[in-house]
Each structure stands twice: as structure tokens, then as C-alpha cells.
Amino acid sequence: MTFSNRRRQLLRAGAAGMAGLSLPLAFEGRVFAAQAGVLSVAIPSNPQTLDPINQPNHDVMAINQLIFENLVGIDARGQRVPQLARAWTISPDKLTYTFDLQRGVNFQNGQPFTSADVKYSFDYVLNPANKAFRRPFWTVIDSVSTPDANTAVIRLKRPYRPLLDYMSKYMGIFPVGSREQHPADYFKQTPIGVGTGPAIFVQSKANDFVELKRNPAYWGKGEPHWDKVVFRIIPEESSRLASLMSDQTQIISAPPAQTFAQIRTSAGLAGDSRPSPTSPLMMCLNHRKAPFDDPAFRRAVSLVLDRGKICRDLCYGAVKASSMPFAPESQWYDASSAGSLAFNLEQARAALKSSKYASGASFDLLYVQPAYLIDTSSTALFIQAQLASLGVRVNLRPLDFGQMISQVLVGNHAAALTGFIAPPEPTYLLNALFRPTESLWKASGYESAELLKLIDDSYRVDDPAALKPILAKLQQVLARDCPAVWIGALEVQNLWRSNVKDFQVNTGFSLKLDNVYLAKA
């Protein structure tokens, strides 16, 4: 089947899905209707865990960020804001962070929140025996001390600029002793009473829903504005959209990109998008497997991709074309490095000819289906067709998100087409993928002392003017070695019912729901 014929089939299937949008949507034999005070939200992915220190899924972070809180938060626009710390100071040598904690905060079990809980939480994550998935983010911490109940001091081994940014997503504060008091799966499956957030866990059913209720004693006065929030697990794009159109859900993540512009203006609905300039759509390449052990072959793959066509015609503007890990509009983007990997069929053929796979190669390309963040099925087909023009065979292997991420995390893949979500910090994904001690390194197997030194150099500076030239040098290394193939920067898109008020699209993709309310009819 040709790419163009297959794409027409996909588009016809999408149109067929749109045709049934007026029908009620059933979940395992039940039909959920809108209820007063109940906010219903549709996400694509089934939670593997609700524990923030082990959470790999940004859709599900919307759930655990309502249960758990952190010292520092990130607002919808990517700016740092106070959370459990009402203020903080950083020492001149950038090694000591002193946090002035909020007063009058209790955990959902009634236990008062103090600096002892901060120390306990970080000490737990840092203990290798606890095998926290997010532990690598925090190994830079040398010690956590508690001068008094309202002050926590974190001392670092070396400067680490993104410390505060990572707190917002990859950490949670929980009560002293709580990990020992509860069974091993408690935080994963039923984290009742162990957070300070605006929502309390009620119940869940795999592949169906997660239900939370309003925390009546929440320290953030006046929030939340709903009595209950129910997360519906709806993997299919068309089904999520159908649930919104029929008012069985009020907010959906990852709407179909091809219909987003049209649907957002429909009566009774609203929608918006926001750039996530450090969150790329990319091909993650395993350097320990042929043919990606050859940098010339990796360069050929990058040069043969017409990113403009992919982003315009297949992603419908939900991705901004870029051959670097930053959007072209980002302050960190290096146009010269990006230009050296721009679509050029002649240069792609020359790069392939200079590789050890000049006579051709084949590899499996994993991609997520049903869609995660954005539907990549058409993009995978287009990549297959473009590489076929070089004599390279691509075998497409669709997997659901859980299956794919489990393969990628252990390096059991040659290439994977996926979106990666990053906080508004330029080195998060590069460090995670390309540093051997990090959680995603097996996904690439790439080693470069030069790149790691540049990342470490970037940690020592806060001033954008000083950071930019470091990141430019870093992108020059990426352009030379081609450790991954970047396609573009993702745009966050959401749709919601018009009676949903104060909802803001979050540049970090996870839905921010604490201050949302439903207007009365």
C-alpha cells in the first residue's frame, strides 16, 4: 500500500469517527452524564501508578498533582510559583537553597505539614534501596536539613540550575513515616490521605476511570471549586471528542489535531493551544543497535525527513518543525545547527553512501497507537516512505503507550517515534537521554563527554545571556553526532465545554485543574 493511499484511509476513518459525534458514549456498559459539581476529564492513558516519584506519564500527572504538592510549582505559562514553600533563597555559590514553608498546611490525614516531611520525602527518594524512578533528578542533593519546623535547607553537591523546575513535576511531599506505614502498592494504587493537595483519592478502575473528591480542609483558601473530579480513560481520539461533544466530559486532552481548529469554534465548546518549546516530537535512536550505531546513517535519516511537510500536512500545525530539540521561536534555538540537518535529499544520499550501510538497511520503528499527545500514525507512514527513497526499509510497529515506553526504557528497540514532554528548562530531555546514569539513557546509548560537560556548564548559570552560547555549542554537538532525530516542538492543545471557567492550557501538558469551576446553567 502506498503512503498516499494509506493516508487517505486514515483520513476517511477520522471522518467516520466525526460523523458519530452526536451519539452518547458508553463506558463499559454505562453512560455518564454531567452532574452538578462534578468535573469530568478525558485523558488517553491508563495510570500505571499515582505515585509522583515513579510517574512516567504526563497525562496521569494531572491526577497525582491534585493529590500531592511540591515546594515549588510551575504555572500554566511555565513560570515558577510558590507552593508548599512560600518563598526561597539561593546562596551566591548556588549550592544552598533555603525554603520558607507555608503555615497552616495539613496532610489529607490531618497530620500537620512541617520541614520534617520535606526531609523525609527527599531522603526516601534519594535512598537507592527504594528504587524511585525519578531518583536521578535528585542525586545532586548532598543533604536536607531542618533548622526549624518552617524552614527546609537543601544543600547541593554542585550547582544545578533546574532544581526548582524539576520539583514541580518529578517530586511530591508526603508525611513522615507514611511509606513504612502503608503497603508497598499504597502510593501506587490508593494514595489516600498522604498528600497536601486539593483532591483526595476515592477510587479507580483500570482502563475506565479515576475518581477524586474535594479536600474540604485544603490550605489554598477557596479551592478547589468542584466537589469531585473524574478522569475518564479514553484512548481513542474520536471517542474522547465524542465524550466532549455529548457533555459526558467537560475537558479533553490530546484532541484530534486535524479537526482542532474547526471544533474549537463549535457552539458550546472552547479550545486553545500553547507552545511547549522544549517538548519535541522525535525519533529516539538506539546507538547500540544497527543501523543507528553509524553517525553517517543517523545523519542520512535526519536529512531525508521533510519536517515542514510532516508538521504542516500530517500534524496539522500541532508540531512546529525543527531539527533541534527546541522550537524555532525558542530563545535557545540555534538556527545554524538546525539548518545543517534540514531536509536535503542530495545530502541524505551522500551521507548514506558514506555510511557502512551504503547498500541499504532495515529497522523497526515503534510508535504509539492509540495516540499519546498526538497521533503519529501518518508521520510513521511518511517516514517509512521517505526512507524507502534511500533504499532503507522501515518496519512499522504500533504499540500502546505502556508497551512502547517499557521497551524504550530498557533499550529493547532500534527506533521509536514519540513525543517527549519537558519542563520549561532546556537541558531536561538531553540530560535524561544522553547521560549514562539517567533513567532514559538506555533509550539512546549515546555517550559524549563533550555534551555532558556542556550540560554541566549550563547548570552553573542562570542568566539567559550567559546560558545561550552554552546551548548553542551543545546544539553544534547534536548537529554533528545526530544522536536523535528531532522532527519538531509540540503544541499543547485542549478542548473544553464553554461552561468550564478559568481553565488554562498548560505548557507542560499535564492538565491544571485546581482552580477550574463549572458555571451554572
pLDDT digits (tens, 9 = 90+) for 410-430: 999 999 999 988 888 899 999
For residue 32, the model assigns a pLDDT of: 44
Mean pLDDT calculated for residue range 20-25: 35
Q: Which residue has the higher pLDDT, 24 or 75?
A: 75
Domains of the chain: 33-51+183-272+495-518 (3.40.190.10), 69-181 (3.90.76.10), 275-491 (3.10.105.10)
> What DSSP character marks residue 226?
-
Lowest-confidence pick of 34-38, 69-73, 114-118, 201-205: 34-38
What's the pLDDT score for residue 421? 86
Query: What's the mean pLDDT in 191-196?
Result: 97
**Helix or strand run (H / E) with residue 60:** helix 58-67
Spatial separation of the C-alpha atoms in residues 191 and 354, rounded to whole Å: 55
Of the two residues 78 and 362, the one the predictor is more confident about is 362
CB 38 within 8 A of CB 48: no
Give me 91's grid cell: 546562596
pLDDT-above-90 percentage for the chain? 78
Q: Please tell me whether residue 174 adopts helix, strand or coil conformation.
A: coil
Residue with cell 545532586: 140
pLDDT at 26: 38
pLDDT for position 281 = 97
Cα 323 to Cα 319, 480, 484: the distances in Å are 12, 12, 10
Q: Is residue 337's pLDDT more than 60?
A: yes
pLDDT digits (tens, 9 = 90+) for 339-372: 999 999 999 999 999 999 999 999 999 999 887 7
Q: How far apart are CA 515 and CA 503, in angstroms?
A: 8
Vertex 78: Cα angle to 222 and 519 (nearest 5):
35
Is residue 24 pLDDT above 80, yes or no?
no
Highest mean pLDDT among 13-17, 399-403, 475-479: 475-479
- Give the pLDDT score at 2: 45
Does position 518 have pLDDT exceeding 60, yes or no? Answer: yes
Cell numbers of 254, please?
490530546
pTM of the predicted model as reported, rounded to 2 decimal places: 0.86
What is the model's pLDDT at position 3? 45
Average pLDDT, the chain: 91
Note the pLDDT tens digit of each residue in 361-409.
999 999 998 877 888 999 999 999 999 999 999 999 999 888 998 999 9
Q: Predicted confidence band at 221 (pLDDT cuts at 50, 70, 90)?
A: confident
Q: Is 74 helix (H, G, I), strand (E, B) or coil?
A: strand
pLDDT in the model for residue 374: 87
263: Cα within 13 Å, side-chain hemisphere = 25
Q: Is the predicted pLDDT of residue 304 greater than 70, yes or no?
A: yes
Residue 8 has pLDDT above 80, yes or no: no
Query: Which residue do the cell numbers 484530534 mark?
Result: 256
- Lowest pLDDT segment from 12-16, 100-104, 260-264: 12-16
The pLDDT of residue 29 is above 60? no
Query: pLDDT: is 208 or 462 the higher one?
Result: 208
Return the pLDDT at 521: 60
Q: How far is CA 476 from CA 69, 306, 354, in A?
A: 38, 21, 21
Least confident of 33-42, 141-150, 465-474: 33-42
Statement: residue 292 has pLDDT above 80: yes
Listing DSSP states for 450-477 in one string gives HHHHHHHHHHT---HHHHHHHHHHHHHH
Which residues lie below 8 Å from residue 129, measured CB to CB, with a gap of 6+?
none
Q: In angstroms, rounded to a whole number, what is the distance separating the alpha carbons of residues 78 and 56?
A: 19
Say yes or no to pLDDT of 478 above 60: yes
Confidence of residue 222 (pLDDT cuts 50, 70, 90): confident
User: What's the pLDDT at 76?
Assistant: 85
Q: In the beta sheet, which residues pair with residue 81? A: 73
Above 80 in pLDDT, residue 31? no
Check whether 15 has a pLDDT greater than 80: no
Phi and psi for 471 in degrees, rounded to 5?
A: -70, -30
pLDDT at residue 6 tops 60: no
Q: Is the predicted pLDDT of residue 21 greater than 50, yes or no?
A: no
- Residue 435: pLDDT over 80: yes
Query: What's the rounded mean pLDDT across residues 469-498?
Result: 97
In the predicted structure, residue 22 carries a pLDDT above the cut 80 = no
Position 312 scores a pLDDT of: 95
